[in-house]
Chain A
Amino acid sequence: MSGAMRGFVAVFEREIVERRLLPLAALALGLVPLAAPLLPGLPSGSPAEVRSGVALGLALIISLVLALSLGGSVIARDLGERRLGFYFARPISGGAIWAGKLAAAAALAAGAGALVLLPVLLIGDVPDPSGYWSSFLTGGAVLGLPGLAIAWLGVILLVVVVANAAGVILRTRSPWLLLDLVALSVTVAIVWTCLEILTRAGAGLTTWRGVAVSSAILRYVGLVVYALVLLALAAASAAQVRRGRTDLRRGHRVLSIVLWSALLPASLALAGYTRWFKSPSPQDLVSIEDVVPAPAGSWIALYGLAAHRGGYLPGFLVDAGSGRFIRTGFGLATWIHGQPLLAYFSADGARAVWLEPSGDRTRPEDLDLMTLDLRRPGASPRPVQVSLKRSLVCFGLSRDGRYAAAVQGGRLVVMAVASGRLLASVSLGDEYHQQESLVVSSSSVLLYGLDSIWTPQMTRGHQVTLSISELNLATGKLTKAEVREIAMGNVTWTASPSGDRGLLRASKTLQLRDGATGKLVADLGGEGSRASFLPDGRIALLDRGRDGSDLRLLDAATGAELRRFHFPGVRTVLVADQPSPNRVRAVTRGPKGTEPWQLWTLDLATGEARLGPRLALTELPFRRTGPWRSLRGDGVVWFDLWNARTVVVLRDGLPSA
């Protein structure tokens, strides 16, 4: 055995022997839980559960109290009472003195806890702590007895070194105490703020919508913070004994210098990491969860999973043409009613409005309304004096971007975006719908509710109910309409920009309905037909045939066909935008799905389809299909998970022919 090990063992043993009554007392205390089922006031349960629960609680308390008291005295008291010289006058290294004493303190604390548990373990009452707390506290892991033992040993070690440092610092009462307090305050403030930021950003998530996120960053950050604090405290107290030796004041000085020169830079590094964590660019997204394009222009709102950041899902407003982006607070943090609430755009694409979590910590349940002028270069997001609750059910913005409406707390509220002034607030009663959407204008608000019910007795399909509530802003009167339909599969409702029409889509049907009454206007197609409203209200319908694809332009009033464009040999046709009332831009791709994208400009007045250049489109990653190198190009294309279709956004000024 080396000299250092001999010294360590001698000191360790001496500390244990000096406190040899402690284990006996712990064993005696372990008999108390055996009588616990007879004691009044304890939680009900089987006698075995009560015994094991009380024993576990007592064991944890005893361990913690001993870790605190022994850690705080085992070195500091010897120093304060000038008794450490006994060891330093012997051939024992400072490191062996430090390690022997602290290891004995930790062993006594942990051993006493184990001895308190021993009697109930001997009679077969094995505590099962996994049900005592939510998995949220343990980072998703169910903590059984072995896990608890490891975690508890970690806690004991930390408490011992913290108590030891505090014991030394408090006994000296030197001016260095002031420095310690300042450094402690700064470090705790930095670490607390960083952890709070990371927590709010979702760094603790391990899975997201079925996608396994490989690294739960917050758990790793927590472990790193724990390890750093433990190591810094251990190194500092070891240095205090090895270099301060029997001089308490010098020891305190050494301890403070080592401790804070480790923890302050580490906390600054954590702050740097947190800043990096919170500053991703769109290119850092490895998968995109949702995208909303502006009706005009090349801005899109998107959010997705950022690389190397656990479950962090940042949101962005991105100009798909220039690559310019604005980091926003929408995305995961603004999920409502099971769906993400991203940005809303005015019809001209000049303004974006969105909700994001309040920066005010006293209002954690509030979402603040933000707005951004997209046409002004360098403009930054501006908060509007409107706050909504996270219990919000749905949100809508008028085409001119001046009015917003929301359903929350059983009421439909309408407000002016610029001033935040409340224009209307009406009760909706107990109405609740599986899907809700709003169409807002300066005169009225349309609230659509869609419910789909299925029972085994329904052989023809789901019973779908479309509820339409219209609020007249001038009179404040709310009128309601409701239609029922039988449909197969997943059903969605898309209202036209003005709300006068809507598309009811099911797996085998596509119907054009009246936006105010819900009555059927026309059947537009069957399985495989896809349709969407153009910004001017007309309908673009895509049919795929054997020899290619047809893009049909329909009159929204009647469903009658206005134009038909045939693309032979083309599998995919995507309507991009409508730069002018009679001009629509579309992109196509061949049957393999790997050919270059081709731009078309369609003249709705003449029916002419002009072939444009081939396009370099950035394909946005979906479910970890990234990385995507750059946004710069002719535009972006992505698969819209919510509507099960591919969407394209092109930059302005592309040559049309």
Chain B
Amino acid sequence: MNPVDSTPPVAPIQVEGLTVRYGARLALDNVSFAVAEGAVYALLGRNGAGKSSLVRCLLGEQRPAAGRVSLLGLDVWTERASILVNVGVVPEDPDMPPAMTSRQIARFCSRLYPSWDTPGVEARLRRFGVPGDIPFGKLSKGQKGQVALALALASTPRLLVLDDPTLGLDAVARKAVFEELIGELADRGTTVFITTHDLAGAERIADRVGVLRQGKLVLDEDMETLKHRFRRLSFPSSGKPRLEALAPVAVASRGWGIEAVVANYDEERLGVTGPDGPEVSALTLEEIFIALTGEPEEGGK
């Protein structure tokens, strides 16, 4: 009889009790979450919520005041260099040396990874329309992001960390980035951690969503469950509906009646259905985000 390995598989990303301080200010407050193998995790949050601090900790660039981050089962602060062989990174603000061309940067990176897909980089840059012989500093912001993505994917990483890769991109470029990501996921099943303000794009690819609010992780849930849980209820009458059991997160009085967003929708608990009941509709990720954080995202529509 063969022994059965009962050890649970190691999550590619494991964040435990992460706390980051800048002087007296708490940027991240005891944040914990994990990302399973092959999953796409979208971390959402308003500006200043702590996303960049979290990404810096995730990449071993910043040491947290408390807590621990493991990537691919290893402590990222102490094993950063060996971990990053299997990690592709797209920074929020691509920081390649401005005097180097995309091709030179690719050549530099190719020496650092055991497997490097040079034709793949060339093909992606061609697809994105990025010239390979123009210094990086002279590329547009969108092109810089596309170079960063092409480089991140070239090492066939087990894990991709993307820090707001579509920031400042136009709609066409944003679409191209997400299509590239979807293609990558379809081909290799790479684990992806992405922070973004493009909630529609994230909704297309994310399996799981986390929301940071003032340094606290206020939500960490599968996309399906999240979207199933959150509903908009429109009550045509002006009477006060009984919503306590559904965990209302927003209730507004409209001219035609009452509109509420609940975080724990359950037909049975609502009690009233049919023609007398409210009109129940699903929410987009952006609507859920607004309901949770109180205000719309700058990048959202």
Contact = CB atoms under 8 A, between A and B. Distances in A.
A is bound by B: yes
Interface of A: 3-4, 6-7, 9-10, 14, 17-18, 82-86, 88-94, 96, 243, 245-247, 250
B162 to A, nearest CB: 11
Interface in B38-74: 56, 59-63
Given A83-B95, A86-B97, 8 more contacts: A7-B81, A88-B59, A89-B91, A90-B109, A91-B81, A91-B85, A92-B81, A243-B63
Contacts of B25: none
Nearest to A83: B95
Could you tell me the dominant secondary structure of chain B's interface residues? Answer: loop
B81 A3 contact: yes
B200 to A, nearest CB: 27
Nearest to A9: B111
Contacts of A94: 80-81
A570 to B, nearest CB: 83
Contacts of B178: none
B93 A7 contact: no
B112 A86 contact: no
Contacts of B80: 88, 93-94
B122 to A, nearest CB: 19
A212 to B, nearest CB: 53
Contacts of A92: 81, 112
A10 B100 contact: no
10 contacts: A6-B112, A10-B111, A18-B100, A85-B61, A91-B82, A92-B112, A96-B81, A245-B63, A246-B56, A246-B61
Interface of B: 56, 59-63, 80-85, 89, 91, 93, 95-97, 99-100, 104, 108-109, 111-113
Contact of A14 (B60, B83, B108, B113): B108
Given A10-B108, A18-B99, A89 B113 contact: no
A219 B89 CA distance: 51
B60 A88 contact: yes
Contact of A83 (B56, B63, B85, B97): B97
A97 to B, nearest CB: 10
A556 B205 CA distance: 120
A3 B95 contact: no
A91 B96 contact: no
Q: In terms of DSSP, what is the predominant structure of the interface of chain A?
A: helix
Contacts of B89: 89
Contacts of A246: 56, 61-62
A89 B91 CA distance: 8
B97 A91 contact: no
A460 to B, nearest CB: 89
Interface centre among B82, B91, B99, B108 (most CB of A within 10 A): B108
A3 B82 contact: yes
A91 B91 contact: no
Contacts of A9: 111
A23 B108 CA distance: 21
B61 A245 contact: yes
Contacts of A250: 62-63
B51 to A, nearest CB: 15
Nearest to B96: A86
A7 B108 CA distance: 10
Contact of A82 (B83, B95, B99, B100): B95
Contact of B62 (A4, A14, A96, A245): A245
A89 B59 CA distance: 7
Most buried by A among B63, B95, B97, B108: B95
Closest CB pairs A-B (n = 6): A89-B89, A91-B84, A93-B81, A91-B85, A246-B61, A86-B95
A250 to B, nearest CB: 8
Contact of B112 (A82, A90, A247): A90
- B61, B83, B85 — which one has the most chain A CB atoms within 10 A of its CB? B61
Contacts of A7: 81, 112
A590 B46 CA distance: 104
A202 B83 CA distance: 57
A112 B85 CA distance: 35
Contacts of A96: 81
B112 A10 contact: yes
A93 B79 CA distance: 9
Contacts of B62: 245-247, 250
Contacts of B56: 246
A6 B99 CA distance: 22
Nearest to A81: B95
A518 B193 CA distance: 107
A430 B283 CA distance: 113
Contacts of A245: 60-63
Residue of A3, A88, A243 with most partner-chain B CB within 10 A? A88
B238 to A, nearest CB: 54
A107 B83 CA distance: 31
A224 B261 CA distance: 73
Nearest to B109: A90
Contacts of B93: 82
B82 to A, nearest CB: 7
B97 A89 contact: no
A14 B100 CA distance: 9
A17 to B, nearest CB: 8
Nearest to A93: B81
B60 A91 contact: no
